[in-house]
Amino acid sequence: MTSLNHVLVATDLSTPARNAAERAALLSKARDASLDLLYVANPAPFERLKQIVVPDEDLLKRALDTAKEKTHELADMLFQRYDIASGIQATSGSVVSEITRVVQDRRSDLLVCGAKGQSLVRHLLLGSTVQRMLSRMLCPMLVVKSAPRDAYRRLLVPVDFSPSSLRAIKIAKAVAPEAEIILLHVYEAPFEGSMRFAHVDQDTLTHYRNVIRKDAIEQLAALSDAAGVSGARQVVVHGDPAWRIVEQELELDCDLIVIGKQGESALEELLIGSITKHVLNESRCDVLVSL
């Protein structure tokens, strides 16, 4: 994605979804992109409710009518606050299937969702719909965690030098072209644990790690040049990628993480990568997952 032409917001009309709609409006306004709001009602709970509690054939229809009214109210608020008109669609069916269908039909460049469900500890746990969408995403997906105050100002882009790294940088530039981009590579020294078991001395281990670090720095500089962001800040740190990314988000005061979905194999494509999932759950800021 080198441009942002259409943004789709999947909303359940909750507060997190409202935050997502506001962020989408900010992005759409800045990039002159069209914006649509989509509400999907899963008919299964209504059918179950009708069977065991309320024998009412119009239950789902009334719920959809109410959802349409509230979606219109959301669109009116976005227009008044951000001066951007948005299309509205409220339908019933399988939530993930319907969102996927609309993404295809509208050729959406970005899907925006709110992170749902606050745990007893500090971090946000992803809603089930978001997790399922991540495994079937056809376009980049922005998971919004807090109410937007302004345009994104500092982006953290973790890279591993795979093809997805270059795509992530391009998406970051398209979504927030005025923001500062920080490229982060977290390296691990392969077989370091085995070398310790073999009683390799500390000086040798340090030299081994430094060689890997030097290679990572060179690769990061080359990637930066290839992506057209040679002026971007480049950070190379050692450790576990999942934890280091979240740590650097806080240390560098970033307000958006742009990360690849991970996984080039068919099996990995079925499940979102463990590092990406960890970042989505543990980070404080919004997360944009690229393809």
Asked, colleague to colleague, whether 1-147 and 150-291 share their fold, the answer is yes
Distance from C-alpha of 291 to C-alpha of 237, rounded to nearest angstrom:
24
Q: Look at residue 52 and tell me whether its pLDDT is greater than 70.
A: no
Contact 26, 128 (CB under 8 A): no
Q: Average pLDDT for residues 215-244, to the nearest whole number?
A: 94
- Kindly state the average pLDDT of the residues 243-248: 96
What tokens were used for 95? 């939530």
Q: Quick one: average pLDDT of 241-256?
A: 96
> For position 124, what pLDDT does the model report?
41
Percent of the chain with pLDDT over 90: 61
What does pLDDT average to over the chain? 86
Q: What pLDDT does residue 137 have?
A: 85
- The segment with the largest mean pLDDT, out of 131-140, 247-256, 270-279, is 247-256
Question: What residue ranges do the domains of the chain occupy?
Answer: 1-147, 150-291
User: How many CA atoms lie less than 13 Å away from 144 in the CB half-sphere?
Assistant: 28
In whole angstroms, give the CA distance from residue 232 to residue 229: 5
Q: Which amino acid is at 125?
A: L
Mean pLDDT, range 203-210, rounded to an integer: 79
pLDDT at 202: 76
> What ranges make up the beta strands (E) of the chain?
6-10, 34-41, 86-92, 110-114, 141-144, 154-158, 180-187, 233-238, 256-260, 286-290
Q: Which residues contact 207 (CB under 8 A, 6 or more apart)?
A: none
Q: Are 261 and 290 in contact (CB under 8 A)?
A: yes
Point out the least confidently predicted range of 182-186, 247-251, 273-277. 273-277
**At 148, phi and psi to the nearest 5?**
-75, 140
Which 8-state DSSP code applies to residue 130? Answer: H
pTM over 0.85: yes
Residue 118: is its pLDDT beyond 90?
no
Q: Encode pLDDT of 18-46 as tens digits.
A: 999 999 999 999 999 999 999 998 877 66
Q: Is the pLDDT of residue 13 over 70?
A: yes
Mean pLDDT of 227-256: 95
- Lowest mean pLDDT: which of 161-170, 213-222, 272-281? 272-281
> Do residues 84 and 78 lie in contact, with contact meaning Cβ atoms separated by under 8 Å?
yes
pLDDT at 47: 63
Q: What is the DSSP string of 201-247?
A: -HHHHHHHHHHHHHHHHHHHHHHHHHTT-TTSEEEEEES-HHHHHHH
Q: Which helix (H) or strand (E) holds 18?
A: helix 15-31
Query: Residue 96: how many CB atoms within 10 A of its CB?
Result: 19
pLDDT-derived band at 267 (thresholds 50, 70, 90) equals very low
CATH number, domain 1-147: 3.40.50.620
Exposure of 214 by Cβ count < 10 A (0-12 exposed, 13-18 middle, 19+ buried)?
A: exposed
Q: What is the CATH number of domain 150-291?
A: 3.40.50.620
Burial of 125 (0-12, 13-18, 19+ CB in 10 A): middle
Contact between 145 and 115 (Cβ < 8 Å): yes
